[in-house]
Amino acid sequence: MIENPENVVFFSSASIWELSIKHSTGRARLALHPQVLYEQLVKHEFNEIQVTAAHGLLVASLEAIHKDPFDRILIAQSIAEGMLLLTSDETIGQYNGPIRLMK
């Protein structure tokens, strides 16, 4: 789906934020520095979706299935924007909404 040129692909500013935190504490499991990842996403025409107050407010209405605040904001963004969220996280996959579990 990501490689299909007919699809518009987005990434969340929350994901870059989370990776930056993990990188600064030595917990990142990425080969790329978050800045380089961001630059590559932009270079390859991925579109950034920023976190809004509406997304933050929607988090409060989500079931308490997942505790990670970064994952919860991704779920809220997906629901609020009607965007398909691709994930390998089985816990995220339990939410109703435009979410597809990829294995």
| Domain ranges within the chain, ordered by starting residue | 10-101
Question: Is the pLDDT at 16 greater than 90, yes or no?
Answer: yes
What is the maximal distance between C-alpha atoms in the chain?
38
Q: Which two tokens stand for residue 20?
A: 């930056």
Mean pLDDT of the chain: 94
pLDDT tens figures, 46-64: 999 999 999 999 999 999 9
Domain at 10-101: CATH architecture: 3-Layer(aba) Sandwich (3.40)
The residue type of 31 is A
| Backbone phi and psi for residue 58, each to the nearest 5 degrees, phi listed first | -65, -30
**Measured CA angle at 23 (ends 71, 86), to 5 deg:** 30
Question: Is the pLDDT at 28 greater than 80, yes or no?
Answer: no
